[in-house]
Structure 1
């Protein structure tokens, strides 16, 4: 028979285990009355220890578990049929503040002096369930990105044909009214291209193509669409530094960032308010960057989007840039808007910050590194539309879409290039083997067959290093991000004649 000292030691050991356990541990008798609860149970459910003792365990359960619990115990005592005991299952718990949360419950039983007791070990599944949801969202976005990329490729091929043919038709028109109609059609096609670009940006599948830009131009170009998007209850104003430094960023991503921030600000002002878009130069020294993570001292351009909305509490502000974090109701937000803005800033070598106070609005600031503005220029004459003209160089066009191929050949001939064409990579390599005097291969990235544009570029670099390669694509970032393409220029579809001419001229340098 154990001595009192042994019994006391065992009790002390048990108390130590209960107090140090990370999971909640609650013991009840056969009537469902709580006899013990450890500190982890107090922290999880929000009750003090004395508030557990003597109460039926039902008060920690939402329906339907609350109404069925006593029946579970009675059924087990009468029949021995187990529902949870010795098995464990996922159920829901109810906290003091009314929060219902997912948990895993494992129950064991024991007897003391002929009295039966049940011990439940409760593991909070809130974080793991949130991780699972985030993973599902990521998988959904991945699938959406792949679908969007495929659609964008086909859609951009169509837009390339539309833009190219209208441009060539416009150059032949002398009637002013007809030229106006052609111009309107061109603008509509370009709007379609911008739409495709934004869809890719939303799915986080767009390929970044940074170039020196002036942010003032983007703010001004978006004011019309923002006025329509924000509605009449939002007063939009701009404060733009006339001597703003250039920055090197992807133009389409900047547009998406500004629109995202403006829409978020609108949602924070359901009864209306004021939204201010501001640009300024910022020379940040060591003291100024103390609170900005991983940001080196130097010259930056600051883009600020400030609203007079309801503001963010600290716990929301600290997580606002996290992917999939959103305070909007289900179906109204993906939680990707601000994370995309933050990703753009970081990928561009800058940073993003949020300053917000409850009932005093929010200001999101993007810090983008100052650019020297140098883009490099291609040599050569210009045609009457400002496009760089060739000097008779030989170009091989590789494109599986017959309409795009035919249009591209005609465009390049008008730019004074000698042009050959092929429908796929295999045919292109055959032509190169028999026509060694080719200066440039201009190939679509996505093509049917065993070799795509990436494989063709790699083969040319290996066998014919003197031949330059320019790829074109309307497809998504997952294809063009391949490491072997980093030294290869890519022209995004759809493109105007001047963009084609400049890209060809630069590739030939």
Structure 2
């Protein structure tokens, strides 16, 4: 049967097909109806069936009973299998048995005896045409409703008074994990696994007592993934105040939304901890600068032959440097935006880094050999837009973690690849675009889902006391997120771990790895004057001591206002070494005002928590704690000739 899915425009005249093997009858019927209808005519039943196959807009069929080749009742019965048109049997004989049989079989809607009464015939055609239009409209409505029902982004189920499923869409069947046909006649409790039945019973009790229920069902599916489903049930109202007893059950999968909320909560927590860590690191770096600087200057005051004193100073310097490394990790974790992104050829970087990775992983000689293997690189792998130095540090940390997950030894594999993120597929908050991915994989002890959910938390570690700071993975996470990428983990207990770094692909061809600028050897300049500005007296004394030992004349003050006065009053000052974070007037503000007084003045910022975004482009920055050589190299780089 023609589905008649195309709706008929209201202004279009209904189509009437007249079938009769007598031309005179055809003309008479056409004359009667053509004013209000589009009339088609055929003299053969077979030809009429062919026309109905081609046209689905025929609203009414009028057929003579006595025709050569095929009687009218048989023709109309066959037409029913093709068209939904109303049917009128025209007969000139009192053959009531044929008419009754055709009516009983549903082959005809009306019958008209010859000779016909025109008004009566028009009324029958009008009623049959209206019924056809109504059927077409209902069919269209059913099609639209069924399409919406089947393709809703939520599960939808209609239940009877006993809670048994009457009809459900495919999404609802997925929720209970059964085929649609299997669900019909069963309740939700019967279809759910045992672990979820209690929640279903509680919702059913709430619905029985209050007439509606809404809950969020939190469970773990067969793949081990946490899921959250909101289930809402409400009664379907009847006419007036009558109740139908029927209800509708709506299943909404909220897993993606909940995971996004948890990720955002994690990001907020990381940012809060990062801010705290940055503040602590700033103050701690000032202490370490004073300690390390004082220890570096102390040998000038002690006799070299005092071996015990030299050993004690060596121990103190070593401990202070370890503290500086810990503080640097805190800063790398907490410092936003301090990533210098350049095109980095990942295969070249990994080849140059492989020796260091193997040495770092196996250098202790107390465990089984754990080779770091580079898997074959994809052809035409684009360069990554990233900070090469921080990426190297991240890979070293990942390989060390992989080694610790292999207590009996085993291979660590580093693989690379290329991925494209579409506009509508932004897992992990990635922007649409191309990404270079680097995976570090081990076949070690693996991690449980609970452990995976905490590995990026600062100071969280599974290692023994003193075995790790718990900052390695958070530092990697912070670096990659600031780099515009993501860190993804695949692991299971006893099945190893794979951690993948997603880095944005560079928009220009891969270039050679940026070389570290050669600052040259420390130098000595006699007599030149440098202004040291630092609010921490311990740091200021050490900075002054380093510079005086190198032969400079040093002026020192502890705030920006005094620095401005000295620059105005002392024209012999050649450059300024200044702390970035100071009370009253920050280093960046002080530097701007100094440049207004003396445009040629060079300034070296020293800081334990440098937000480079707050500094002018090209500003020279020396991180705390710093050695004498690093300070002098920084001064040499900016000292006017």
Q: TM-score range by the shorter chain?
A: 0.7 to 0.9
- Given that 2:335 and 2:609 are in contact with CA atoms closer than 8 Å, whether structure 1 keeps it comes out as no
CA distance in 2, matches of 1:310, 1:237: 17
CA distance in 1, matches of 2:625, 2:546: 14
User: 1:182 — aligned with what?
Assistant: 313
Q: Deviations over 1:413-449 (max 9, x none)?
A: 1111111111111221122122233221111111112
User: 1:383 — aligned with what?
Assistant: none
Of residues 274, 280, 288, the one that matches 2:411 is: 274
Q: Deviations over 1:212-268 (max 9, x none)?
A: 999899877777874599984x5234689xxxxxxx96656633431123314543x
User: 1:419 — aligned with what?
Assistant: 554
User: 2:205 — aligned with what?
Assistant: 71
1:168 CA drift (Å): 0.9
User: 2:236 — aligned with what?
Assistant: 110
User: 1:262 — aligned with what?
Assistant: 400
- The answer to whether structure 1 residue 131 and structure 2 residue 266 are counterparts is no
User: 1:119 — aligned with what?
Assistant: 248
Of residues 155, 160, 166, the one that matches 1:29 is: 160
Of residues 143, 152, 165, the one that matches 2:281 is: 152
Of residues 449, 453, 470, the one that matches 1:330 is: 453
Give the SS at the match of 1:442.
strand
Change (3 A) 1:253 1:472: farther
1:120 CA drift (Å): 2.5
User: 2:13 — aligned with what?
Assistant: none
CA distance in 2, matches of 1:178, 1:216: 44
1:210 CA drift (Å): 9.4
- Given that 1:198 and 1:256 are in contact with CA atoms closer than 8 Å, whether structure 2 keeps it comes out as no
- The answer to whether structure 1 residue 481 and structure 2 residue 622 are counterparts is no
TM-score by length of 2: 0.59
1:371 CA drift (Å): 3.8
- The answer to whether structure 1 residue 460 and structure 2 residue 594 are counterparts is yes
- The answer to whether structure 1 residue 448 and structure 2 residue 577 are counterparts is no
1:64 CA drift (Å): 4.2
| Aligned-pair Cα RMSD in Å | 4.7
Give the SS at the match of 1:498.
helix
- Residues matched between the structures, number: 450
1:159 CA drift (Å): 0.7
Give the SS at the match of 1:235.
coil
Change (3 A) 1:65 1:452: same
CA distance in 1, matches of 2:219, 2:414: 46
Change (3 A) 1:372 1:444: closer
CA distance in 1, matches of 2:276, 2:320: 21
Give the SS at the match of 1:143.
helix
- Given that 2:332 and 2:475 are in contact with CA atoms closer than 8 Å, whether structure 1 keeps it comes out as no
Change (3 A) 1:220 1:19: closer
1:105 CA drift (Å): 3.5
1:331 CA drift (Å): 3.0
Of residues 18, 27, 30, the one that matches 2:149 is: 18
1:46-445 matched pairs, under 5 angstroms: 46-58=177-189, 59-60=191-192, 62=196, 64-76=198-210, 83-84=212-213, 88=214, 90-92=216-218, 101-111=227-237, 115-172=244-301, 173-175=303-305, 176-203=307-334, 205=336, 207-208=338-339, 226=361, 232=367, 234-237=368-371, 251=389, 254-264=392-402, 266-267=404-405, 269=406, 272-275=409-412, 307-309=442-444, 328-334=451-457, 339=477, 370-371=512-513, 373=515, 375-377=517-519, 387-445=522-580
Give the SS at the match of 1:439.
strand
CA distance in 2, matches of 1:138, 1:128: 15
Structure of higher RCO (CA pairs closer than 8 Å, 6+ residues apart): 1
CA distance in 1, matches of 2:434, 2:226: 39
Change (3 A) 1:361 1:252: closer
Q: Structure 1: which 5+ residue stretches go unaligned?
A: 77-81, 241-247, 279-287, 297-301, 313-325, 379-385
Change (3 A) 1:123 1:500: same
CA distance in 1, matches of 2:625, 2:399: 27
Q: Deviations over 1:85-144 (max 9, x none)?
A: xxx554447867786622333444225696321112322111111111111111111111
- Given that 2:487 and 2:499 are in contact with CA atoms closer than 8 Å, whether structure 1 keeps it comes out as no
Give the SS at the match of 1:260.
helix
User: 1:318 — aligned with what?
Assistant: none
1:502 CA drift (Å): 0.6
- Given that 1:23 and 1:41 are in contact with CA atoms closer than 8 Å, whether structure 2 keeps it comes out as yes
1:27 CA drift (Å): 1.6
CA distance in 1, matches of 2:498, 2:206: 51
Q: Structure 2: which 5+ residue stretches go unaligned?
A: 1-129, 375-385, 421-432, 458-472
Give the SS at the match of 2:251.
strand
Change (3 A) 1:203 1:97: same
Change (3 A) 1:250 1:144: farther
